[in-house]
Every structure is written in structure tokens, then in C-alpha cells.
């Protein structure tokens, strides 16, 4: 405490190492659900798995808490589907796992697969090249955004909206103007501005942009990803 003000951060060590799980149950009037309250304590230690993948032990504990009852999981993912449970979520289905922004190289026409670097032109709309072509064709890397292209799931930049189409949150890569305050574009609108006639452009073509393939950790609040 300093000068009567309290500062609370996200923490550098411990607060990135846990997640809370809320479990509730509902029983219609006149019916009875068996509930065993003394199954486990309040803390469960589990191995780190895929993003948002819950420990199997968690499901087993819930099944022991309320044996024989119907189970429903909200905000479910494909890797959390469990027999006997009803799963709800907007990230479920066979096609969802394949839903990411894959593009083809405009020079060799080969797909720039996940994990391969993607070079996106800064001044030419919808123009992408692979690492091989960026060197073989003698292209200047300074004219391109160098993207890791290794994000294998949906990316939503929470609390950021596109200043052109107003979509919020921004899906996929977010482009932020380095010269204008709080100006963001989704990739579609970034390309649309490059493609538009000079009189129809909604942003200065020669302003420099930064790009973000994944949201900024903790949205800029203090965090230490290497010690979580």
C-alpha cells in the first residue's frame, strides 16, 4: 500500500498457474438428486494439456459427486467431449478443428501450411509468399509482415474492434496503426484499404502498422509467461 492506493497485478509467478471450475446442479421441484459433498477437497492438481482441455480427474470427481444424474458442460471443446455428457459450445464439430486462416503462396501457388512462415505484403492487397519464394524471387523482406503462422485454433482479440467494419472482437490477425491512436483493423479491412481507389481509402496508405497474430498477454498488464 502506498499513498492510500492499492495496486493489484496479475502476478508474475502464481496467478497464471491455475484455473477455477464452477460446478452447479439443478433439481426440479419434487425430484431428488443424489449429492455426495465429501468426495474431494477444493484443489485439483493436473498435468498441463492442450489449451482449455480439462483434466479427466475433474469429470470423474463430478460424476462421483452426483452419480446417475444427467451431466451438461458449457463452453466445451472437441477435446473435452466425454461419454454420457451433453456438451455445449461454439467451438465444437468436425469442421471447427480445420477452421483457421490458411492461404496459398502467390508465387509458387503452394499452400502455406500451419507452422510455415507467412510473408504478407504491407502495400499489396491479398499478396502472401512462403519463405522459399521470399528468397528465391529476390523479394525484399522489409515489404512484408513476417508471420509465424503457427496458431492452430480460433483467435479472438477481446476488447479490440475493427475501426472499419466495427467487428468486435477481431478474429485472426489484428493490424494496429503505429501512427494513429487506438486504430485497429481486421485482416479483411486492412487488405480492402490497400485495394481501394485512392479517393475511397479510409486510412493513410503509408502509415506503418504492427500486427498481432495472438492477443497481447494480459492485455498489457504485468505478466511473466516464462514463469507461469
Instruction: Indicate whether 225 pLDDT > 70.
Output: no
In a domain, 227, yes or no: no
In a domain, 228, yes or no: no
Q: Which residues contact 172 (CB under 8 A, 6 or more apart)?
A: 101, 155, 186, 187
- The 10 Å Cβ neighbour count of residue 20 is 5
pLDDT tens, position by position, 3-44: 555 545 555 556 556 677 788 888 888 888 888 877 766 777
Same domain, 177 and 191: yes
Q: Which residues contact 204 (CB under 8 A, 6 or more apart)?
A: 179
Overall pTM surpassing 0.75 (yes/no): no
Q: What percent of the chain has pLDDT over 70?
A: 81
In a domain, 2, yes or no: no
Q: State the residue range of the domain holding 177.
A: 156-220
Same domain, 18 and 38: yes
Q: Residue length, the chain?
A: 228
Same domain, 129 and 190: no
Count up the domains in the chain and report the number: 3
pLDDT tens, position by position, 70-97: 889 888 888 888 888 998 887 777 655 5
In a domain, 1, yes or no: no
Segments in the chain forming alpha helices (H): 56-65, 131-136, 187-195
Q: Which of 126, 147, 168 is the C-terminal boundary of a domain? A: 147
pLDDT tens, position by position, 97-127: 555 567 899 999 999 988 899 999 999 999 9
Same domain, 140 and 114: yes
More confident residue, 84 or 140: 140
CATH of the domain at 129: 3.30.60.90
Q: How does strand 71-73 pair with strand 85-87?
A: parallel
Same domain, 166 and 131: no
Instruction: Indicate whether 213 pLDDT > 80.
Output: yes
Q: Which of 108, 129, 147 is the C-terminal boundary of a domain? A: 147
Instruction: Indicate whether 159 pLDDT > 90.
Output: no
Amino acid at each position: 500500500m502506498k499513498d492510500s492506493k492499492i495496486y493489484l497485478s496479475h502476478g508474475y509467478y502464481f496467478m497464471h498457474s491455475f484455473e477455477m471450475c464452477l460446478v452447479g446442479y439443478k433439481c426440479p421441484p419434487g425430484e431428488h438428486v443424489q449429492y455426495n459433498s465429501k468426495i474431494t477437497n477444493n484443489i485439483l492438481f493436473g498435468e498441463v494439456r492442450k489449451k482449455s482441455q480439462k483434466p479427466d480427474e475433474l469429470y470423474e470427481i463430478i460424476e462421483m459427486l452426483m452419480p446417475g444424474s444427467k451431466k451438461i458442460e458449457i463452453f466445451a471443446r472437441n477435446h473435452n467431449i466425454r461419454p454420457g455428457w451433453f456438451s455445449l459450445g461454439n467451438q465444437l464439430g468436425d469442421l471447427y478443428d480445420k477452421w483457421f486462416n490458411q492461404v496459398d503462396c502467390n508465387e509458387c501457388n503452394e499452400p502455406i501450411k500451419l507452422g510455415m512462415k507467412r510473408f504478407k505484403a504491407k502495400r499489396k492487397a491479398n499478396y502472401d509468399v512462403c519463405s522459399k519464394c521470399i528468397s528465391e524471387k529476390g523479394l525484399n523482406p522489409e515489404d512484408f509482415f513476417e508471420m509465424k503462422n503457427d496458431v492452430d485454433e480460433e483467435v479472438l482479440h477481446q476488447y479490440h474492434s475493427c475501426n472499419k467494419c466495427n467487428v468486435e472482437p477481431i478474429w485472426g490477425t489484428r493490424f494496429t496503426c503505429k501512427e494513429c491512436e487506438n486504430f485497429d483493423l481486421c485482416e479483411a479491412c486492412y487488405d480492402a484499404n490497400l485495394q481501394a481507389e485512392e479517393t475511397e481509402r479510409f486510412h493513410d496508405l503509408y502509415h506503418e502498422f504492427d500486427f498481432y497474430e495472438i492477443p497481447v498477454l494480459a492485455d498489457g498488464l504485468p505478466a511473466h509467461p516464462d514463469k507461469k
